[in-house]
Amino acid sequence: MKSLLTIPALFLAANTWASCPASLPAELPVVPDGASASHAEMQIAQEAVADYVTGVEAYLDCRTLIHPLLHNRLVDRAETVAASYNGALEDFRKREEMLATN
C-alpha cells in the first residue's frame, strides 16, 4: 500500500521540479578591476552579477529539500560575487570622481 502512495508522490515532486531552473548558473561572473575598467565593462559585469544572483535565488526558491550546507554555500557564493562587484563599483566611482575634478 505504501508503494502505491509513493509513486504518485514521486510524479508530483517531479512535476514541481520541472518548472524550476534545470541547474545553477554555470560560472561565476567575472568582475573587472574597478580602478581600470571602462563604463561598458562595468555595465556588463553588473548585468552578469545580477543574472547570477537571480539564477541562484530562483534555484534555491524551487529546491526546498536542499541540504542546508549546500544552501548556505550557494548563498555565500552569490553574496561574495555581489560584494566583489560592489567593491569594484566603488573603485570605479572613485576614479570617475577623481577624473571629473581634475
- Whose cell is 515532486? That residue is 13
Name the more confident of 32 and 3: 32
Q: Which three cell numbers stand for residue 32?
A: 573587472
Q: Report the b/e string of 50-69 with b at 16+ CB within 10 A.
A: eebbebbeebbeebeeeeee
In this prediction, residue 2 has a pLDDT band, given cuts at 50, 70 and 90, of low
- From residue 57, alpha-carbon distances to 3, 39, 53, 64, 73 in Å are 34, 27, 6, 12, 12
**pLDDT tens-digit map of 64-98:** 888 999 999 999 999 999 999 999 999 999 988 87
pTM assigned to the model: 0.73
Q: How much is the CA Rg of the chain, to the nearest whole Å?
A: 20
Q: Are 61 and 76 in contact (CB under 8 A)?
A: no
